[in-house]
């Protein structure tokens, strides 16, 4: 590809795993144990399919090939979908550490910049997306091995509906449609080449994604706002050591839940807004007090839910 944009133009903050910082960040994502486990398993099989074959040799009796083919022939795409502040992006940015430790290989994250949308010039978005997949293919090809993979690549597409919006949308520009086509070709190319690479897409608007993109997902993982048990766990971890009793934490759980038509707090509402507000309210001249913490929680409004809608103009042809 002539004049192909460089890595720094396409990917922000490339990260190599295992690494201590993302390991800590992943551990702080409480209440998402199921998503962590599922995503690590899926990505592990996509970047290192020999792991499944070794498992089958050890635990599966009879002819396992038809079953293994069904698992390994899935496209290398996982969609993380859910409301704002539900932890999906943080999980996507840190799960590579768990995969690297699980598979015993080095994983590199390529976070695709929203600048990849380009400036709307004819052919630009298609060229940039094609270049992003070309870099991913080249990097993954160097890691492919006949036995255990030498490493793996994760391509992260955050705010995916900005790049892979449904071609059914009535207001969609022809350049955006071409970009979606380029994205689908990139996914299919990774699948056909069987490279140690996977794509994670994060979106607040699952229904806005192109149906052809959703059909290619090996899994669509849903992320919701934390329930009472999850909020109790988060608050207990942070406030239990400060002398808060269980009834006092329970009061905070109630005040951060959904009530009278108002939504409950998101994970980020609690960890990035509420807890810092409680600490800063007491700093620098008094201790944190449970009664004051409850007042702050009651006075805080949860992030409004994101409306997942898309206008369409008939069936996709």
- Higher per-residue confidence, 186 vs 72: 186
Could you give all domains of the chain from N- to C-terminal order, each with its CATH number? 7-223 (3.40.50.300), 228-298 (no CATH)
Task: Please state, in angstroms and as integers, the Cα–Cα distance from residue 260 to each residue in 19, 62, 245, 314, following that order.
Answer: 44, 56, 27, 37
Q: What pLDDT, in 10s, does the model give residues 22-42?
A: 999 999 888 899 999 999 999
CA distance 223 to 88: 7
pLDDT, position 281:
97
pLDDT, position 310:
47
Any idea what DSSP says for residue 145? -
Overall average pLDDT of the 124-143 stretch:
90
Which residue from 203, 157, 208 is spatially nearest to 310, judged by alpha carbons? Answer: 208
SS (H, E, C) 149-212: CCEEEEEEECCHHHCCECCCECCCCHHHHHHHHHHHHHHHHHHHHCCCEEEEEEECCHHHECHH
**Which pLDDT band, with edges at 50, 70 and 90, does 119 fall under?**
low
Q: What pLDDT, in 10s, does the model give residues 15-27?
A: 999 999 999 999 9
Overall average pLDDT of the 270-298 stretch:
97
Tokens representing 116 are 């990849």
CA distance 51 to 46: 10
Q: What pLDDT, in 10s, does the model give residues 58-86?
A: 998 888 889 888 888 889 999 999 988 89
Report whether pLDDT(180) > 90.
no
Q: Cβ distance 1 to 134 under 8 Å?
A: yes
Task: Please state, in angstroms and as integers, the Cα–Cα distance from residue 95 to each residue in 15, 32, 84, 107, following that order.
Answer: 11, 12, 19, 10
Q: What pLDDT, in 10s, does the model give residues 219-235?
A: 999 999 999 999 999 99
CA distance 86 to 309: 18
Tokens representing 175 are 């350049």
Q: Cβ distance 112 to 156 under 8 Å?
A: yes
Phi and psi, residue 81, nearest 5°: -125, 135
**Which pLDDT band, with edges at 50, 70 and 90, does 97 fall under?**
very high
- Annotate 92-120 with b (16+ C-beta within 10 A) or e (fewer): bbbbbbbbbebbebebbbbbbbeebbbee
pLDDT, position 312:
41
């Amino acid at each position: 590809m002539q004049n192909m944009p460089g890595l720094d133009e396409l990917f922000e903050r490339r990260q190599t795993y295992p690494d201590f910082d993302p390991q800590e960040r992943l551990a702080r994502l409480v209440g998402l144990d199921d998503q962590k486990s599922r995503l690590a398993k899926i990505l592990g099989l996509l970047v290192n399919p020999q792991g499944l074959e070794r498992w089958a040799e050890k635990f599966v009796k009879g002819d396992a090939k038809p079953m293994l083919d069904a698992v390994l022939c899935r496209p290398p795409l996982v969609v993380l979908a859910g409301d704002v502040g539900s932890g999906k992006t943080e999980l996507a940015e840190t799960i590579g550490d768990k995969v690297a430790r699980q598979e015993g290989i080095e994983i590199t994250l390529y976070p695709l910049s929203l600048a990849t949308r380009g400036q709307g010039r004819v052919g630009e978005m298609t060229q940039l997306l094609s270049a992003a997949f070309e870099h991913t293919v080249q990097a993954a090809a160097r890691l492919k091995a006949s036995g255990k993979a030498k490493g793996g690549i994760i391509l992260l597409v955050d705010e995916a509906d900005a790049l892979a919006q449904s071609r059914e949308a009535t207001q969609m520009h022809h350049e955006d449609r071409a970009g979606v086509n380029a994205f689908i070709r990139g996914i299919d190319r990774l699948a056909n080449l069987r490279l140690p690479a996977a794509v994670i897409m994060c979106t607040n608007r699952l229904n806005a994604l192109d149906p052809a993109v959703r059909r290619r997902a090996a899994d669509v993982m849903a992320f919701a706002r934390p329930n009472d048990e999850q909020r109790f766990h988060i608050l207990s971890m942070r406030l239990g050591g400060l002398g808060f009793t269980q009834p006092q934490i329970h009061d905070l759980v109630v005040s951060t839940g959904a009530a009278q038509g108002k939504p409950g707090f998101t994970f980020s509402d609690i960890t990035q807004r509420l807890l810092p507000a409680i600490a800063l309210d007491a700093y620098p001249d008094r201790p944190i007090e449970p009664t004051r913490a409850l007042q702050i929680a009651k006075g805080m409004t949860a992030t409004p839910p994101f409306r997942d809608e898309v206008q369409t103009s008939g069936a996709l042809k």
